[in-house]
């Protein structure tokens, strides 16, 4: 019995088991087994067969993966936003490999990957699905392209496919401390009341993973699924924007309804509607900021800013300019919204904000 059959068997068992107090431990065990088999599926096979290269070298300040069913307008989107031409046609599977493009926006280079369409069962390897999803795991953000003229079932299917390979969309990492030990049994603690998971459940899940000595601390009320995510430790938590394309073919009420859903954007690639707002939302979701540098006695260099992530300190800025600068750092002068007055003299731990100007003084 192969891994795929085992996974299908467990999924059938979960589907036909009623959810109640008596069966919760049985279901927890099944879920743990399912997670174990799925992570085995994700591991590359031992035979190093050489296939056609699919992954693209990471470049630019951030990486965005375009994911969606075949023929929803991913290639049109890539051709519209970037200088790269991706073949677009009215039939499914026009794109067969990963095509990279670069969006130039507010001085940042954002790499956009046009991936082949995903079909149902992609997580099991149908239609190059495994390679597509492996590339998506390396991205900083997922742009999920959906067809506004089709029912919303597509969104749920895609979410399920990504969920089954360990990609969690728009979710935080569960606040659970977990550490395997050499001996001493299981030490279990929680800093809040647990209503969705118990110590017995945690013990059974760990036993199914053949872990008998560990330290577990729940800092929030999590479910058994979230605990399994922490134990397997191969989950990726990515922000996701749902982009509904082809809005020129539906009613304005339907557009309004789609636009009001969380993390959703409505666009039309053919008529170039709302693409500027989509880029703004992309910038916000990637949490990028621009920091400009200034030499003493000269105006700031607004043409060539440093693109960094939200929450970076002066130390990160120093590393971005030159790797030896942080060691010779004395103090910095900062102009902008992160300071109380401009210019403010700050230390190496000061947190920068968007469009700040910095002048570094060396020892």
Every domain of the chain with CATH number 3.40.50.300 lies at 62-85+97-170+236-285
| CA nearest neighbour of 225 among 197, 261, 189, 247 | 197
Every domain of the chain with CATH number 3.10.20.30 lies at 288-362
Residue 297: is it exposed, middle or buried by C-beta count within 10 angstroms (0-12/13-18/19+)? Answer: exposed
pLDDT over 70 at 127, yes or no: no
pLDDT over 60 at 334, yes or no: yes
pLDDT value of residue 217: 92
Task: Among 3.40.50.12780, 3.40.630.30, 3.30.565.10, 3.10.20.30, name the CATH number for the domain at 288-362.
Answer: 3.10.20.30
Least confident of 83-92, 120-129, 191-200: 120-129
The rounded distance, in Å, linking the Cα atoms of 29 and 206 is 9
**Predicted confidence (pLDDT) per residue in 204-258, tens digit:** 889 888 889 999 999 989 888 888 888 888 888 988 888 888 888 888 888 888 8
pLDDT > 90 in the chain, percent = 5
Task: Among 3.40.50.150, 3.40.50.740, 3.40.640.10, 3.40.50.300, name the CATH number for the domain at 62-85+97-170+236-285.
Answer: 3.40.50.300
pLDDT value of residue 118: 63
Phi first, then psi, for residue 195 (nearest 5°) are -110, -20
pLDDT over 60 at 123, yes or no: no
**Predicted confidence (pLDDT) per residue in 56-83, tens digit:** 777 778 888 888 877 777 778 777 887 7
pLDDT over 50 at 85, yes or no: yes
pLDDT value of residue 48: 47
**Predicted confidence (pLDDT) per residue in 19-63, tens digit:** 888 888 888 888 888 888 877 776 655 554 444 446 677 777 888
Q: Tell the residue number behind the tokens 């309004």, with chain if given.
A: 256
Average pLDDT, the chain: 82
The rounded distance, in Å, linking the Cα atoms of 251 and 247 is 8
Q: Tell the residue number behind the tokens 């809040």, with chain if given.
A: 192
Task: Name which residue leads in pLDDT, 109 or 119.
Answer: 109
47 Cβ neighbours under 8 A, 6+ residues apart: none
pLDDT value of residue 50: 47
The rounded distance, in Å, linking the Cα atoms of 244 and 313 is 36
**Predicted confidence (pLDDT) per residue in 291-324, tens digit:** 999 888 888 888 888 888 888 898 888 898 888 8
Cα 284–287–290 angle (5° rounding)?
100
pLDDT over 70 at 260, yes or no: yes
pLDDT bin (cut points 50, 70, 90) of residue 121 is low
Sort strands 240-245 and 236-238 into parallel, antiparallel or unpaired: unpaired
Task: Name which residue leads in pLDDT, 118 or 342.
Answer: 342
């Amino acid at each position: 019995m192969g891994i795929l059959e085992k996974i299908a068997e467990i999924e059938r068992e979960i589907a036909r088991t009623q959810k109640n107090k008596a069966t919760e431990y049985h279901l927890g065990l099944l879920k743990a087994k399912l997670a174990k088999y799925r992570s085995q599926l994700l591991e590359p096979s031992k035979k190093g067969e050489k296939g056609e290269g699919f992954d693209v070298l990471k470049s630019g300040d951030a990486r965005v993966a375009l994911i969606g069913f075949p023929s929803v307008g991913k290639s049109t989107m890539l051709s519209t936003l970037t200088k790269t031409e991706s073949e677009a046609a009215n039939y499914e599977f026009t794109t067969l490999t990963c095509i990279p493009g670069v969006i130039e926006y507010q001085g940042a280079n954002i790499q956009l990957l046009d991936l082949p369409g995903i079909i149902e069962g992609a997580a099991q390897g149908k239609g190059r699905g495994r390679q597509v999803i492996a590339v998506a795991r390396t991205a900083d953000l997922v742009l999920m392209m959906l067809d506004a003229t089709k029912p919303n079932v597509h969104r749920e299917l895609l979410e399920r496919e990504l969920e089954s390979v360990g990609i969690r969309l728009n979710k935080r990492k569960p606040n659970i401390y977990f550490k395997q030990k050499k001996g001493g049994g299981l030490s279990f603690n929680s800093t809040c009341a647990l209503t969705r998971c118990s110590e017995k459940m945690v013990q059974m899940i760990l036993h199914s993973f053949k872990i008998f000595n560990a330290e577990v601390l729940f800092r929030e009320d999590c479910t058994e699924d979230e605990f399994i995510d922490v134990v397997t430790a191969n989950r990726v938590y990515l922000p996701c924007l749902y982009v509904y394309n082809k809005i020129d073919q539906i009613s304005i009420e339907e557009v309004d309804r789609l636009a009001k859903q969380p993390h959703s954007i409505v666009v039309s690639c053919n008529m170039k509607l709302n693409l500027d707002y989509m880029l703004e939302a992309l910038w916000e979701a990637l949490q990028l900021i621009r920091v400009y540098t200034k030499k003493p006695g000269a105006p700031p260099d607004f043409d060539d800013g440093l693109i960094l992530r939200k929450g970076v300190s002066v130390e990160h800025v120093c590393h971005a300019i030159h790797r030896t600068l942080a060691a010779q750092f004395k103090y910095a002068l900062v102009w902008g919204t992160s300071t109380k007055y401009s210019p403010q003299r700050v230390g190496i731990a000061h947190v920068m904000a968007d469009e700040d100007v910095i002048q570094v003084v060396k020892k």
